[in-house]
Chains A and B, each alone.
Chain A
């Protein structure tokens, strides 16, 4: 199946700083990628759909200016958490649909102190 590489796997940052998370499709050209957020002991919630060469589509309640998504190439989507606050601490995970199922990155655990 498609291999999705996500980096970093773990990051700790100070309040007010920005953090960039990268999601790379290693063997598949993905026009669309997806970003999810997972709170402890909870399910995954879709945050946004990343579209190559155009604006991302955000789910209701997700702040576009807080979570900046860039999908500049068919193999790379980035999520930038801007002006991070402790409540942004969470597990973020990306995925893509290869047509016969979704494949997920290994996730990024963000801790804002």
Chain B
């Protein structure tokens, strides 16, 4: 199967700081999504981004499919951004990355 590695595994930010999360994948993919899992376990879709760049408010994402990576940018972080961020890719099935646990402190 496709290996999906995320970095960093853990991240602590002061409120207002910016951050970049990275997702590397081992093979060509048909789709890539970024999710935020809140403390209650709900997976919230952030971006559907097989290639290119998208922005939604303080979040943006870029996928360079030819180089097999994607980046998630969080600007002006807020405490509500805390949680685990997963990227997931579609090969012959949906493969989740290892996750980045983000804690934003006031």
Size bin of chain A's contact surface: 20 to 34
Main secondary structure of the interface of A (DSSP, over half): strand
**Given B33, B41, B42, B86, which contacts A101 in the complex, CB threshold below 8 Å?**
B33
Which B residue's beta carbon lies closest to that of A91?
B41
Q: Which B residues are CB-close (under 8 A) to A38?
A: 41
A38 to B35, CA, bound (A): 15
Determine how close the nearest CB of chain A comes to the CB of B94; give it in whole angstroms: 6
The answer to whether A43 and B94 touch (CB under 8 A), given A101-B45, A102-B33, A102-B88, is: no
Whether A1 lies near B86 (C-beta < 8 A) is no
Whether B43 lies near A43 (C-beta < 8 A) is no
Whether B86 lies near A44 (C-beta < 8 A) is yes
Determine how close the nearest CB of chain B comes to the CB of A30; give it in whole angstroms: 14
Q: Which of A36, A41, A44 lies at the interface centre, i.e. has the most chain B CB atoms within 10 A of its CB?
A: A44
The answer to whether A43 and B42 touch (CB under 8 A), given A34-B94, A102-B33, is: no
Determine how close the nearest CB of chain A comes to the CB of B63; give it in whole angstroms: 13
A34 to B86, CA, bound (A): 17
The answer to whether A102 and B94 touch (CB under 8 A), given A43-B99, A44-B86, is: yes
B96 at interface, CB cutoff 8 A: yes
A46 at interface, CB cutoff 8 A: yes
Whether A43 lies near B45 (C-beta < 8 A) is no
The answer to whether A43 and B41 touch (CB under 8 A), given A101-B48, A102-B88, is: no
Q: Which B residues are CB-close (under 8 A) to A41?
A: 101
A15 at interface, CB cutoff 8 A: no
The answer to whether A107 and B42 touch (CB under 8 A), given A43-B96, A102-B33, is: yes
Per CB-CB distance, the 3 closest pairs between chain A and chain B, nearest first, are A101-B48, A104-B43, A107-B41
10 contacts between A and B (CB under 8 A): A34-B94, A41-B101, A43-B96, A45-B96, A93-B41, A100-B48, A102-B94, A103-B45, A104-B43, A104-B45
